[in-house]
Each structure stands twice: as C-alpha cells, then as structure tokens.
Amino acid sequence: MRRMSNEDKPLPVSRGFVDAIPHNRALGMKVVEFQRAEAVFSLPYDEKLVGNPDTGVLHGGAITALLDACSGAAVFAALTEWSSIATLDLRIDYLRAGEVGKEIRCRAHCYRLTRNVAFTRAVAYHDDEADPIATSMGTFMLGTKAAGTKK
Amino acid sequence: MSLVDRLEEAKRSGDFQALFDLIPYSRFLGLSARMEGDELITTMKYSDHLIGNPALPALHGGTLGALLESAAIFELLWRAETIVLPKTITLTVDYLRSGAPLDTHARSIVTRHGRRVANVRVEAWQADRATPVATAHAIFLVMREQAPPRVIDPLGPDSGPAPAAGAS
C-alpha cells in the first residue's frame, strides 16, 4: 500500500526540519508528511553515506540520524503549543541491510505525550512499512529551553 | 581488494586513518582515531554540517549516535584477532547533554565478545571527559559471512533458541 505524498505542498513548519537543520540538509532528508503526532521523512541513497564500500550499503549511522530526526518531528507534530525538545534516549533495532541505490523512508509516531516527556516509535523502510530496515523507540524531554532561547 | 582485506592491511600497518578513510560515511562525519595509552579514542571533528539545533547551537543527535556506533565498530575491528565486519543488531543511545559545536571524542569497552555476539559500551565527551554528552550500548553480530551452516536441529528450523547445555 502506497500512501499519497504531499511532498509538493509541505507545511512551512515541516520544511523547517530540513531547511533550518544543517545536518538534515547535509544528509539530503526530505519531509514527506507532517501531521497529528506523525512524521514521514525520506533519505535518498547517497554514496557519501555508504558504510561498506564492498556492498554499497548505507551506514547505520545515517539511519540513526533519520530515525532521530523523524522521531523528533513526530513530537513536534503532537505538540499543541511550541516547546523545545531534547532526545533522552533512542534505541534502534537494525533488522536488515538497506538495499543499494534505494531511498529510505521513516515513519515516526509520537504515541504518548505527557507534560515532561514524549514517547516515540519509528520504522525505517524502502517501499513497504511491513518490511522494515530498522525500528526505533525514543523518549524526548519537553521544555528544555537553554539559556538565551527564552520566548 | 575487499574491505576486510584492506582493514587487515590497515591494522597491520597501525594506520588508524586508513581504517576510517575506507568508509565513506566516516569521512562524511569527519572521524579519526588515535591511541592514548591502551585506549582507542575516536574523534568526530566539528563541522557546521553536523549541527541539529542551530539556535543553541547543538550537534544533531544522529551524529552522536553515529559516532558512538562507529567507535564501537572500530574498537571491535581493532581488538579482534581476525576481522569480521560487525553488524549492528541494536544500538541504545542515552543523550546526557546537548553537544556543543566542538570536536567530540568516544571510547568503547567491549563488555562481552562471544562467538556470535559482542556487547559494547561507548561513551562520548567533548572538552571534559568527566561530563559525557552521550553514552550508548550496542550489540553486534560478529559472525563470519561464510560461516558453516548450523547443525540442523532435529526439531526443525526456527524451533526457538538453542537448548541450554545439558538439556536433552
């Protein structure tokens, strides 16, 4: 089952996850969906992200960055008022190697939001979410404004 | 020459940088390594493209995760007698404080190296080693690619985990 992409009309707030975040931009991430408590990001295949030059398979670190960024976006998608967030922990299970030359997508869901902490689940896949490359569970601290960033 | 052969060569010559230069993603992150006494220290050189929060500014959590995972893999490659490319099974990262726009260093400890699985703890810090920015524990599959097929279980495939020693 393929979902419709709204890539051609992303929300301004969602575009910020790539435009305003240098590392997301450097990885070539794109925001595909951004709606209530969910985010879908894509990561195009790129030779600079290869972890094993013999096989051309992407490094796990690139997938870690995708899962982290997309999970954080899902938290923002769940918030009703703006808050700064910080990742507390992220556990990633690598289920299989990604395929060479194929874009990786990540769908993240913020399935629980409390006053202080947000909980996320995410899955990274090529075409079919039911055949994942990696899954992750994350927790995020809310309202972690650092000095100098007061509203 | 395969990656494993080139890794063997880098190990023999003691050329850490050659190890990292073989991996495109390590170059993208700006990783390097050095020995400090008995410790293998992996460093991610600060660069603007590693930033995840430009307001603070702070490093992207993914870069810290990738540094920790890479440091663990290089520790396994460096310490192992014969090189087997470790495959990450799980990686759990604890983010302790935001990463400043500085070089970040990582050090790994192999807590267990079994025949099939290795467990590694990793710690990353910046200016002060006593205040780490992130820690991780990772579990790797460390089996050779061309491992001989496992003994066929009379109960059939996927009959669950191998029985404990002594079980009939």
Q: How far does A2 lie from chain B, in Å, by closest CA? A: 27
For B116, the 3-state DSSP assignment is coil
Chain B nearest-CA residue for A85: B53
Residue B106 and residue B99: Cα distance in Å, rounded? Answer: 13
Mapping DSSP to helix (H, G, I), strand (E, B) and coil, where does residue B95 land? strand
pLDDT in tens, B18-47: 778 888 999 999 999 988 999 999 999 999
Which one of B7, B85, B90, B91 would you mutate to disrupt binding with A, by most A Cβ within 10 Å of its Cβ?
B91
Interface ipTM > 0.85: no
Condensed to tens digits (0 to 9), the pLDDT of residues A66-122 reads 999 999 999 999 998 888 888 999 999 999 999 999 999 999 999 999 999 999 999
How far apart, in Å, do the first and last CA atoms of chain B sit? Answer: 46
Whether the CB-CB separation of A79 and A44 falls below 8 Å is answered with no
Q: Do A21 and B51 touch (CB under 8 A)?
A: yes
Find which of A19, A21, A49, A52 to mutate to test the B interface (most B CBs within 10 Å of its CB): A52
**Residue of chain B with shortest Cα separation from A18:** B52
Backbone angles phi, psi at A65, to 5 degrees: -65, -40
- Report the pLDDT value the prediction gives residue A8, as an integer from 0 to 100: 43
Write out chain B's pLDDT in tens, 168 residues: 788 888 888 878 878 787 788 889 999 999 999 889 999 999 999 999 999 999 889 999 999 999 999 999 999 988 887 778 899 999 999 999 999 999 999 999 999 998 899 999 999 999 999 999 999 999 999 987 655 555 665 565 554 555 454 443
Question: Residue by residue, what is the 3-state secondary structure of chain A?
Answer: CCCCCCCCCCCHHHHHHHHCCHHHHHHCCEEEEEECCEEEEEECCCHHHEEECCCCEECHHHHHHHHHHHHHHHHHHHCCCCCCEEEEEEEEEECCCCCCCCCEEEEEEEEEECCCEEEEEEEEECCCCCCCCEEEEEEEEECCCCCCCCC
Of the candidates B24, B53, B60, the beta carbon closest to that of A50 is on B24
Q: Does A72 touch chain B (CB under 8 A)?
A: yes
Which chain A residue lies closest to B66 (C-alpha atoms)?
A: A61
Q: Are strands A57-58 and A85-94 parallel, antiparallel or unpaired?
A: unpaired
What is the value of pTM for the model shown?
Answer: 0.84
- Judge whether A100 and A46 are in contact, CB under 8 Å: no
A58, A64, A88: residue with CB nearest B91: A64
Q: Average pLDDT for residues A19-33, to the nearest whole number? A: 91
